[in-house]
Structure 1
C-alpha cells in the first residue's frame, strides 16, 4: 500500500507542469508562424517572379527582369534565369531584324508574289503583285479567283493550264512576257499556295540582242574566212589567165571550190539548226543503228541489252551522235578511247559518249550547250547545241561532266 501511494505522488508531481507548457506553446505559436512567414516571404516572391517571367517568355515578352540580392543557390538560379532572358532577347531582336529584312526584300522584289490560303483568300501580296493584279491597291483579304477574273485573258489561261509556264500579254507592238511559277506548302498546318509572276520581257530582249550579236559575229567571221581567199584566188586566177600560166589554174580553182563548199556546209548547218523539224519516232534496233554509224566515225560501242529497241528519229539522232563522236575525236583522245555506251533504264535509255581528252573547265561546261558558243578557232558552236535540241525534241535531256582520270562524258537520256 505504501509503494502505491509513493508512485501516485510521483506521477502527480511530474504531470503538474504540463498545462503551463501547453499554455505557453499556444501563446507563442502565432508569433512563430508569423516569423516563419516573414522569413520565407522574399523566397515566395522570388518564385512568383520566376513563374511570371516564364509565362512572359512563353508569350513572347522578354522585357521581364529579376533582381535578387541574396546569396547561395537561389542567387545562382536567378543569375541563370537572367542569362536565359538575355539570350532570348538577343535571339528575338535578331529574328525581328531578319523578318524586317525579309519583308523589305519581299515587298521590293520585282517578282510579283501572292500567298493564297486554303479558302483561296490572299494572305500576302507584295508591291509588284499589287501593280499586276490590283492596279496598285492592296490584295490581302480578297478572293484570288475574283482577282484573276479581272485580269487579262492570257493571265487567266496561264492559271487555268496549271503548273509553271510562260505566257504573253498584249499585242505585237506592246508585248510583255511573263513566267508563272506556283508552289504549294503547309503553313501553320494548313495548305497554302505561293504564286510567283516574273516579267521577262526586258531580260529576254537583252538576251535576244546578245544572241543576234553573237550570230552576226560568227557568220561575219566565217564569211570573211571563206570570201577573202576566194576573192584573192579569183584575182590570181585572172592574172594566170592573162599571163597564160594555165598549169597553176587547177590549184587555184580547187582551193576556191574547197572554200565555197565549206561555206555552203556552214550555212546549211545553221539552217538545219534553225529549222529542226519535230522528230518522227519509229522503232529502231540499237545494234543495227550503231553499226550504221560505224561507217561514218570510229568508236567502241557497249550496248545493254544487246537486243534493245528504241523509238527515235533515226536521222536526227544519228546526226547528233555523229557530231558528239567527232567532237570526242577532236578532244585529243586516242581513237580507242572514244566510246559509245547505250544502257536501258527503268524509264528510258541513257546514251553516253566518252573520251579521254582534256575535258572542260567550269566556264566552258556552263556555256557549252548554248548555241554559237565554241572554243574552237573555226567552230560554229552548233554541235552540242544541236544535240541538245534533238534530245529535248525527243522528250529527253543532255548533260556534260568531266570524267575521273580525264576526259568528258556527254550523257543523253531519252524516254522509252
Structure 2
C-alpha cells in the first residue's frame, strides 16, 4: 500500500479535486493564446479528465478491495463463521469502520463460544437426567430422546426420527393406557411385588413456529416407597398413642371395678363404668374417623340449594353466613361437603375465636363456587400452614390430624381445591373452591 493510501479518503479526494482545478485553469490560460475563450475552457476541462479518472481509480482501488472484504466477512457472519477478520492500515472513517467490524466479529465469536458451552451443558444435563424425556413434533415423530428414554423405549438405541406410536406399540399395556388417556397421570408397570410406579407429564408448546410436545416419565417407586414407610410409621404411632390413651384407663378402671365389687362398694361403680364408656366411645369415634378417611367414596353429585344446605348445617354448629347469590345452586355431594364444613367450622370455634366471629361465606365466581370458613382465632404460623393439610398432622393434644386432610380429600374429589391463609387483623381463612 502506497503512502497516500494511508491518508484519509476525504483529504485525498480534496487534493485530487484541487489539482484537477489548478491543472484545468493553467491549461485554459495557455490555450487562450490560440483558441477562443469558450473553446479553451472546454478543452482545459476535457483534456485532464482521463488523467483524473486514472488517479481516482488508482487511489480508490484499496477501498474497493476493502468493501469486497467487508462484504465477504458479513456473508461469513451470516453463515455462522465468525473466524474471519479484515485488515486496513489507513486512517479516517474507513479505519473506524474496519475496527468496529472486527470488534463485532470478536463479540460474535465470544457469544458463539458461550452459546456452544451452554448447549453442551444443557445436552449433558438432559442426557444424564434420570427422567425419561421425549420431544415429539406435530407428526408424532421423536425429535429428541435422552438416555433414559432410549433405555425405556428403544433398548438403548437412538429414538430420533421414529414414530411415537411405533415406540408405544412395543411397550407394556399400562404405558399405552397412560398415553391414551392424555394429560398427566401415574401408572404402574410390572407385577405387584416388583412393580415400578411412573409419573407421566405432557406439555405442548411451539418451537420455530410449529407445535411440539414434551413428554416426561419419572420413576417414583423409591420415593413413594420411602414416603409410604414414613406414613405408615406415623399412622402406627398415632394409632398406638390413641389406643394406649384409651385402653390403659379402661384396663385400670375395669380392675378397680372388680375390686369395688369384691368389697361391696357398689356406689362407686357408676363413675367407673361411665369413664369406661366415655373412653370406649372416644376410641370408637377415632377408629370411625380413620375408616372414613381411608374409604372415602367417590362423590355422588346432585343439585343442592345453598340456602337449604346452610340451614341444615346451622342446626349442628353455630356460625354467621354470607350467601351470594341468595338463590344459588351447586352440584355437590351434600353429605361429604357437609362433613368437610362441619370439621372446619368446629376447628374455627376451637381456635379461640368468639362465636359471633365464626363465618361461612359462599359466593359464586366465574365457573366455580368459593366457600370461605373464617374466624378470629390465633391463626397459624408458617410451619403449621405448610403441614396442616397433611394427614395425621395435628397441633391438638387429642387431635387425629384428619379434619383438614378430610376436607382437602373431599374438595379435590369434587375437582376443587383448598387453601389456608392468615387474615389481616388475626384469624384464619380456609378457602374451598368447587366447580360450578
The TM-score bracket by the shorter chain reads: 0.7 to 0.9
Gaps of 5+ in 2: 1-30
Aligned to 1:7: none
Aligned to 2:24: none
Q: Residues 178-197 of structure 1: matches in 2 within 5 Å?
A: 178-197=198-217
Aligned to 1:105: 125
Matched, 1:345 2:365: yes
Aligned to 2:191: 171
Gaps of 5+ in 1: 1-10
Query: For 1:45, which of 26, 45, 65 is the aligned residue?
Result: 65
Query: For 2:88, which of 68, 73, 76 is the aligned residue?
Result: 68
Q: Counterparts of 2:371 and 2:40 in 1: how far apart (Å)? A: 110
Report the CA distance between 1:13 and its aligned residue: 4.3
Aligned to 2:316: 296
Query: For 2:387, which of 367, 374, 386 is the aligned residue?
Result: 367
Matched, 1:56 2:76: yes
- Cα distance 1:12–1:307, how it changes in 2: closer, same or farther (>3 A)? closer
Q: Counterparts of 2:61 and 2:242 in 1: how far apart (Å)? A: 97
- Cα distance 1:14–1:98, how it changes in 2: closer, same or farther (>3 A)? same
Report the CA distance between 1:392 and its aligned residue: 2.3
Report the CA distance between 1:100 and its aligned residue: 1.1
Q: Counterparts of 2:307 and 2:275 in 1: how far apart (Å)? A: 40
8 Å contact kept, 2:418–2:431: yes
8 Å contact kept, 2:348–2:375: yes
- Cα distance 1:36–1:281, how it changes in 2: closer, same or farther (>3 A)? closer
SS in 1 for 2:291: helix
SS in 2 for 1:185: strand
Aligned to 1:217: 237
Q: Residues 1-400 of structure 1: matches in 2 within 5 Å?
A: 13-15=33-35, 22=43, 26=47, 31-241=51-261, 246-400=266-420
SS in 1 for 2:186: strand
Matched, 1:405 2:425: yes
- Cα distance 1:282–1:182, how it changes in 2: closer, same or farther (>3 A)? closer
SS in 1 for 2:127: helix
Kindly tell me the number of residue pairs found equivalent between the two proteins.
405
SS in 2 for 1:297: coil
SS in 2 for 1:209: helix
Report the CA distance between 1:354 and its aligned residue: 1.0
Report the CA distance between 1:341 and its aligned residue: 0.6
Q: Counterparts of 1:237 and 1:20 in 2: how far apart (Å)? A: 145
Cα deviation digits, residues 345-377 of structure 1 (max 9, x gap): 342322111112232333333322221122223
SS in 2 for 1:326: helix
Report the CA distance between 1:256 and its aligned residue: 2.8
TM-score by length of 2: 0.84
Q: Counterparts of 1:64 and 1:106 in 2: how far apart (Å)? A: 33
- Cα distance 1:386–1:25, how it changes in 2: closer, same or farther (>3 A)? same
Report the CA distance between 1:29 and its aligned residue: 5.1
Q: Counterparts of 1:20 and 1:267 in 2: how far apart (Å)? A: 122
Aligned to 1:5: none
Report the CA distance between 1:14 and its aligned residue: 4.5
SS in 1 for 2:285: helix
SS in 2 for 1:15: coil
